[in-house]
């Protein structure tokens, strides 16, 4: 149980450190009643407070509570000597004939202006329930009391919880504003201008359709997969006419020769006839007349001889 209480008190003091800037050594205001109860239960109050708060402390007592110890019956001199070793918190009530009650004195020390702020970050250790009830109205005041020889740190009250939530929301909003930066307004304005220009283009197209104006409109870029780089694509090779003829020869006979299909047996002959060139006509030579006949006879004789 003691380990659980120490763990809970450590977690609670961490919350006070984060949200209310509590720092070591913690300033603990002690009233006269808690000192008397600690002496009655034989508790080392300062040692217990150090273990519970998980840090160094600075015990403090007001002038009014010192006077309460002097006026107490029976008077405990050892307790008074122990209280004198603590740091004296001047409450400016020493000029009064009778000391103020712990409620009035501590409330003026913790919140002198009544603004509900624990300016000096005091931790109040009091056995008076009225004192603790009043301090619960001030956010950020840890409260300590003794119950059956056990030193207890009160959990965070509702007022302190609300104050902590407000602080967290304010910090969160401030962080969002800081992240947006100065260019956020400019960017939003630019986006609004783009939307207006798009709306204008839509209105102009409607007007043009109604008036019959067919001016060329700027094409909007369509995002999508891009084609290959034309510089990296291999260019197609130009075909020679010879290759064309060979390619045409590979086609079916009806397509290449534009001839009607024939019987398979006559295919080769038809292809041969079609491929052979047309023969040149020979001119007929006329025979010469008489003189030419004698010459031919002479030529014949000579040939015979």
pLDDT at residue 185, as a whole number: 52
pLDDT level of residue 298 (50, 70, 90 thresholds): very low
CB 59 within 8 A of CB 46: yes
Which of 68, 117, 116 shows the shortest CA–CA distance to 91? 68
CA distances from 68 to 75, 102, 242, 269 (A): 10, 9, 128, 144
- In tens, the pLDDT along 15-70 reads 999 989 999 999 999 999 999 999 999 999 999 999 999 899 999 999 999 999 99
Residue 254's pLDDT is what? 44
Phi-psi category of residue 54: left, alpha or beta, with phi > 0 → left and psi -120 to 50 → alpha = left
- Average pLDDT of the chain is 77
Contact 17, 121 (CB under 8 A): no
At 138 the pLDDT is: 94
What is the distance between the alpha carbons of residues 217 and 196, in angstroms, rounded to a whole number? 17
pLDDT in tens, 57-108: 999 999 999 999 999 988 899 999 999 999 998 888 877 888 899 999 999 9
- Whether the CB-CB separation of 36 and 126 falls below 8 Å is answered with no
pLDDT, position 229:
83
Say what the pLDDT of residue 277 is.
Answer: 56
Split at pLDDT 50, 70, 90, the class of 121 is very high
In 3D, which of 71, 132, 64 has the Cα closest to residue 96? Answer: 64
Query: Model confidence over 160-190: pLDDT tens digits?
Result: 999 888 888 888 888 766 665 545 555 566 6
At 253 the pLDDT is 44
Q: Does position 292 have pLDDT exceeding 80, yes or no?
A: no
What's the confidence (pLDDT) of residue 223? Answer: 74
């Amino acid at each position: 149980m003691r380990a659980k209480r120490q763990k809970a008190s450590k977690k609670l003091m961490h919350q006070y450190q984060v949200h209310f800037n509590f720092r070591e050594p913690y300033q603990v205001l002690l009233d006269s009643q808690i000192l008397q109860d600690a002496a009655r239960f034989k508790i080392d109050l300062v040692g217990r407070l150090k273990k519970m708060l998980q840090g160094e402390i600075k015990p403090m007592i007001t002038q009014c509570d010192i006077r309460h110890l002097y006026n107490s019956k029976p008077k405990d001199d050892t307790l008074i000597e122990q209280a004198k070793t603590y740091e004296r918190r001047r409450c400016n009530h020493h000029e009064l004939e009778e000391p103020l009650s712990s409620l009035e004195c501590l409330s003026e020390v913790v919140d002198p202006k009544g603004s509900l702020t624990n300016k000096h970050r005091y931790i109040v250790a009091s056995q008076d329930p009225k004192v603790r009830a009043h301090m619960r109205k001030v956010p950020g005041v840890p409260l300590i009391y003794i119950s059956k020889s056990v030193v207890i740190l009160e959990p965070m009250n509702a007022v302190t919880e609300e104050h902590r939530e407000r602080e967290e929301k304010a910090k969160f909003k401030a962080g969002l504003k800081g992240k947006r930066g100065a260019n956020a307004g400019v960017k939003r304005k630019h986006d609004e201008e783009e939307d207006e220009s798009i709306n204008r283009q839509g209105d102009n197209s409607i007007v043009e359709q109604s008036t019959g104006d067919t001016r060329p409109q700027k094409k909007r870029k369509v995002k999508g997969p891009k084609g290959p780089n034309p510089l990296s694509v291999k260019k197609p090779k130009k075909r020679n006419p010879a290759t064309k003829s060979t390619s045409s020869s590979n086609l079916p006979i009806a397509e290449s020769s534009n001839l009607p299909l024939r019987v398979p047996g006559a295919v080769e002959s038809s292809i041969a006839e079609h491929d052979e060139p047309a023969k040149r006509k020979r001119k007929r030579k006329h025979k010469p007349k008489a003189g030419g006949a004698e010459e031919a006879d002479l030529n014949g004789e000579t040939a015979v001889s």
